[in-house]
Homo-oligomer: A and B are copies of this chain.
Amino acid sequence: MIDLDKHKAMANAIRVLAIDAVEAAKSGHPGMPMGTADIATVLFSSVIKVDPSLPDWPDRDRFVLSAGHGSMLLYSVLHLLGYEDFSTEELKRFRQLGARTAGHPEYGHGAGIETTTGPLGQGISTAVGMALAERMMNARYGDDLVDHRTYVIASDGDLMEGISHEAISLAGHLRLNRLIVLYDDNQISIDGPLDLSESGDALKRFEAAGWNASRIDGHNASDILAALEAAKTSDKPTLIACRTTIGYGSPNKAGTSASHGSPLGAAEAAAARDALDWHAEPFEIPADVRDAWRIAGLRSGHARKAWEKKYQSLHPDERAEFDRQIRGDLPPSFSAAMEKLRGEIGRERPTLATRKASENVLAAVNAEIPETVGGSADLTGSNNTKTKDLEVLTADNYGGRYIHWGVREQGMAAAMNGMALHGGLIPYGGTFLVFTDYCRPAIRLAALMGVRVVYVMTHDSIGLGEDGPTHQPVEHLAALRAMPNLVVLRPADALETAEAWEIALERKEGPTLLALTRQNCPAVRGEESHGNRSKRGAYEVAASGEPAVVSLFATGSEVGLAVKAKGLLDMEGIPTRVVSVPSFELFERQSADYRGEVIGDASIKVGIEAAVRMGWDRLIGTDGIFVGMTGFGASAPYEELYEHFGITPEAVVALVKARMADA
Contact = CB atoms under 8 A, between A and B. Distances in A.
Contacts of A622: 617-618, 621-622
A196 interface: yes
A353 to B, nearest CB: 16
Given A118-B470, A479-B479, A615-B614, A378 B164 contact: no
Contacts of A406: 160, 189, 196-198
A407 B200 contact: no
Interface stretch (A239-247, A337-345, A441-449): A441-449
Interface in A605-631: 612-615, 617-618, 621-622, 629-631
A483 interface: yes
Size range of the chain A interface in the assembly: 35 or more
Contact of A173 (B198, B380, B644): B198
A351 B644 CA distance: 50
Contacts of A98: 634, 636
Contacts of A635: 95-97, 99, 102-104, 106
Interface in A576-631: 612-615, 617-618, 621-622, 629-631
Nearest to A613: B618
A161 interface: yes
A410 B169 contact: no
Interface string A144-174: 0000000000001100111111100100110
B200 A210 contact: yes
Contacts of A200: 169, 172-173, 208-210
A376 B205 CA distance: 25
B209 A95 contact: no
Contact of A160 (B25, B97, B408): B408
A189 B378 contact: yes
A424 interface: no
Given A118-B470, A205-B208, A97 B640 contact: yes
Interface string A459-482: 000000111111100110011011
Contacts of A57: none
Given A208-B201, A406-B198, A470-B116, A485 B631 contact: yes
A141 interface: no
A333 interface: no
A365 to B, nearest CB: 21
* Overall SS of chain A's interface: loop
Contacts of A630: 484
Interface in A479-532: 479, 481-485
A183 interface: no
Given A162-B166, A197-B406, A636-B95, A475 B482 contact: yes
A205 B209 contact: yes
A405 interface: yes
A411 to B, nearest CB: 7
Contacts of A437: 119, 440-441, 444
A190 interface: yes
Nearest to A474: B484
A28 interface: yes
A401 B410 CA distance: 31
Given A104-B468, A468-B102, A470-B117, A614 B481 contact: yes
23 contacts: A28-B466, A102-B634, A104-B467, A118-B471, A161-B166, A161-B409, A162-B162, A169-B200, A173-B200, A189-B407, A191-B404, A192-B404, A197-B406, A201-B207, A202-B208, A205-B209, A435-B441, A478-B479, A478-B615, A482-B615, A484-B629, A615-B615, A621-B621
Given A172-B200, A205-B205, 6 more contacts: A98-B634, A161-B162, A161-B409, A165-B165, A479-B482, A617-B617
